Amino acid sequence: MGNTEERVRVIVARVAKRADLEGLPPDADVFRDVGVASAAALDLLLSLEEEFGVTIPDDKFNDARSVRAITEMIAGLEGVKGPT
């Protein structure tokens, strides 16, 4: 299903309850600019872990606030498997 950035955008859009984020700049803050509520951060984290099959450390997740940063974080975790 698409490349990593596209998959991240789909997840962020779902969590933010936005129909389309295609035109969103990759460095836009997903919390401030996109509208992912802080209460939805756990949903975002769990959705990313499930989609990509990785475990995301809290400190890395907290630092990744844009689609670009999340995509790069996921790429860096590639091959690191989450709980089975």
User: In whole angstroms, what is the distance from residue 2 CA to residue 46 CA?
Assistant: 19
pLDDT tens column, 6-54 = 899 889 999 998 877 777 888 999 999 888 888 899 999 999 999 999 9
Alpha helices by DSSP H, listed for the chain, are 4-16, 41-52, 58-63, 67-77
Domains in the chain: ranges and CATH: 4-77 (1.10.1200.10)
User: In whole angstroms, what is the distance from residue 50 CA to residue 31 CA?
Assistant: 20
Q: Is the pLDDT of residue 84 over 50?
A: no
pLDDT at 79 (0 to 100): 56
Cα–chain center distance at 29: 11
- Provide the whole-model pTM: 0.84
